[in-house]
Amino acid sequence: MHCWSPGFASHGPDANSPAYDDIIQARSGIAALNADGDDAPRFLRSIVCDKVVGLHLALAIAAALVHRLRTGEGQSIEVPMLETMTSFMMAEHLAGHTMVPAQGEIGYQRLMSANRRPFKTADGYMAIMPYSTKQWVRFLTLVEEDQLAASDWIRDGAARSHRIDELYELIARVAPSRTNEQWLDALGSHDVPCAVVNSLQEIFADDQLAATGILQTMDDAELGSLRYLQPGFFSDAAQPVAPRRAPHLGEHGREILAELGVADAEIQRLIADRVVGDSAE
């Protein structure tokens, strides 16, 4: 079995073009979707393409291993960055262009709303997100919009979706009336989804993340105390593994090749020819 991830699919005209995260954010539509208030495209402040494509690579390999287990057949898998990210982004944004000819605008309407954003409160910012009909009715009642809560279009999911920008504008209008803590209490008691906007520094103190232990520390003889992130998934069958820093170039080359059954003389030849690295050098 062989798996690889080029920037662009090998059967396309850009097969040999270089690709980095910013290049793929630009061509896949991400930068345009993340435009600022002047409609100038912006990159997400994350190497999102590298990471999302890496997840697709892992899924493709897992699927291929299942296929090999069932059929005994190996295969070659290509996971190109541009095609992967375009598929990832357009899954929801095809929208009205899913049909041919198009039966509506391109772009998922709720996500394209100009008023869909973290809302400024009395002392910070919040994500406030009524979604279902019951949640919208409860939220509107909470903010004393009883007449609106009783209106037919609020109780009709399709009609509400077409006017979602109005509702997000209403949230923006009322959000400054309470602090984050007050909103958390009020919305929580009404079962309306919400969250405080964490800064990167505040992530360290998030109660949920602290309780589940995603962020940990370790001691390394060479580098001292280090922070590291646990995997974001949990399995009751997983065996605990002691953390360790990322290896130096070629640090475990000899051990890996030996596990694969490569003879010592061949390993030494590969190191001498600089096919693999050797941290002992």
**pLDDT given at position 37:** 85
- Sign of the alpha-carbon dihedral angle for 38, 43, 46, 52: positive
CA distance 150 to 137: 8
SS3 34: coil
**Domain locations in the chain as residue ranges:** 2-98, 113-196, 247-281
In 10-144, where does DSSP find H-type helix? 21-27, 30-33, 48-71, 81-93, 109-112, 133-142
Cβ 96 vs Cβ 105: under 8 Å: yes
CA distance 258 to 264: 7
Q: How far lies 178's CA from each of 89, 117, 130, 143, 172, in Å?
A: 35, 17, 17, 11, 12
Q: Specify the pTM.
A: 0.83
CA distance 148 to 34: 31
Tokens of 92: 């929801």
What amino acid is encoded at 143 in this protein? V
CA distance 120 to 176: 6
Q: What is the tens place of the pLDDT at every residue in 10-54?
A: 999 999 999 999 999 999 999 999 999 899 999 999 999 999 999
C-alpha closest to that of 25 among 59, 52, 5, 62: 52
- Tell me 158's DSSP state: H
Cβ 111 vs Cβ 92: under 8 Å: yes
Q: Tell the burial category of 93 from Cβ atoms under 10 Å away from its Cβ (0-12, 13-18, 19+).
A: middle
> What CATH number belongs to 113-196?
3.30.1540.10
Q: How far lies 202's CA from each of 187, 197, 198, 209, in Å?
A: 21, 9, 5, 11
- Sign of the alpha-carbon dihedral angle for 29, 232, 68, 75: positive
Low-confidence ranges of the chain (pLDDT < 50): none
Strand partners, 53: none
**pLDDT given at position 239:** 81
Strands 76-78, 119-120: pairing is unpaired
What is the number of residues in the chain?
281
- Sign of the alpha-carbon dihedral angle for 20, 26, 29, 30: positive
